[in-house]
Amino acid sequence: MRVSSRMASSAPSRSLPATVCLAAGLLAAALAGPARAQAINGGLSISPSLNLATPLQANLPFFPDTVLPTVHPLYGDPFGLRNGLRDRGVDILADMRNELGGNLTGGTQRTSAMVNQIGLEADIDWNRLAHIPGFSTSMVVVNRTGASVSGGYGDAFVRSQDILRSSSGGAVAHLVYAYAEEKIAHGRLALQLGREPVALDFAASPLNCAFMSNAICGNPKALTGRDPGFSVYPNSTWAGRLIAYPLRNLYVQAGLFAFDTGADAGATFDHTGWQFDSARIKGTTSVGEVGYIPSLGQSGLIGHYKVGIAHEHGPLSEIGTDVNGGPLGVTGRPARNASNRNKEWVLFDQMLVRHGAGIDNGLIVVGGYVHNQPDVNSYGDERYLGLVDRGFWRSRPADTLGLLYATVSASEVLTETQRLQAARGKRLSNGATGVQTAETIFEAFYDMRVCTGLSVAPDVQYIINPNAERRIPNAVVLGVRTRVSF
């Protein structure tokens, strides 16, 4: 679930129906007509990671105003209502996303599926609205429907579509986050309290969800997979976060989050996101991250470099050791309990060539490495490297091309446990049907801005070892993602 300028504005009003807009936009693309520029993946829930990706402005007041999200809605500003609210510090954004995918080859069978998300975001600058200096609130709810194609062809390890209906419990209005933030000291200090996922602010980038694959959208999969302690969009927990800017282009942030078993699918899963009691809180997650945002050369080639660590203290189980200290894959006894685990990450992106103003208008290389403690994580390490190029086509400055390579490995302890189980004819851990080692994804997409507020992105993925199992044939998945902002 967050451009050199942090100014926010609304686009001029448009009243064409969506179907006419789509037809006109497709024709315009074919003729290489101009398109309006805006941030990659602009829209719902982008503000938190986008704010962290932007260097602190100079000469801010002691209590700086909140920068409301930049919005370019499909229907513009009817009757001046949107701009009227924004002038008073209130911004409302509705967003609809669809992800359609189907595997042409590979997997356990050929199948296709579509997932959908409708979301509503409300951001309020309380200084403008009620003269409370430096204070703001933000809230997002979503409704998700449909099914993931990955489950149909046997891949539960890394999904080819980011949206997952079951992660929001099928609720009509699932609460993603609701928090308050106070900024002081000319923006150099900010305290955030409320309900939010760990991964909203940590190990996050506004570039990640330019890709449709769950390998890095919205965070590296190895960090967030099957882990209520490192909660991920759209599931939140009680949280507090402090961010400090020792320098305008250097930040340090630390957060303390409740280890809430309701933040992950299971017997205690919070299907609605509105269960605020402490019944499912079993520990804490402490997270820290340092980020550096250089701007290189006269053209301002902006980069983002971050290093982080998370320590979880909660109800965990060892993957390879039973209650008596023996090898679980041999004895089949219940797993030994554990209470601590660590995760570390090093992530970066760097613009190589600039095509226009803003943090994402150019050719950008992205990459990262994630490490998990292997005895208590089903996921092991993750490595990824990619390119995102926005504005490479001068007459289509809002269009974006992306390429990604990612390898997500299973924990080495899980792999060895499964090998022992397979040799003895036992059911394999982690719900696998074969020994899990690693899964590799190659992805390419072209995001076309059809018109203001509407984008269409054809996507192709080649998946080696779906579900991290070598016995499952490699898969070719074709997809298309649409995004509409209202």
Q: What is the CATH number of the domain that holds 64?
A: 2.40.160.180
Residue 6 in any domain: the answer is no
Residue 10 in any domain: the answer is no
What pLDDT is recorded for position 175? 93
For the chain, how many structural domains are there in total?
1
Residue 4 in any domain: the answer is no
Q: How far apart are CA 164 and CA 54, in angstroms?
A: 29
Whole-prediction pTM: 0.89
Residue 134 in any domain: the answer is yes
Give Cα 440 to chain centroid, integer Å: 19
What pLDDT is recorded for position 21? 53
Q: Which residues pair with 103 in a beta bridge?
A: 477
Q: How far apart are CA 241 and CA 130, in angstroms?
A: 24
What pLDDT is recorded for position 263? 67
Q: How far apart are CA 6 and CA 341, in angstroms?
A: 37
Residue 451 in any domain: the answer is yes
Distances (CA, A) of 215 to 157, 218, 239: 9, 8, 25
Residue 111 in any domain: the answer is yes
Specify the DSSP class assigned to residue 201. T
Q: Write out the residue range of the structural domain in which residue 187 sits.
A: 18-485
What pLDDT is recorded for position 327? 94
Residue 8 in any domain: the answer is no
- What's the token pair of residue 100? 């359609």
What pLDDT is recorded for position 360? 85
Low-confidence ranges of the chain (pLDDT < 70): 1-43, 70-71, 165-169, 263-269
What pLDDT is recorded for position 402? 97
What pLDDT is recorded for position 10? 35
Q: How far apart are CA 190 and CA 478, in angstroms?
A: 42
Residue 53 in any domain: the answer is yes
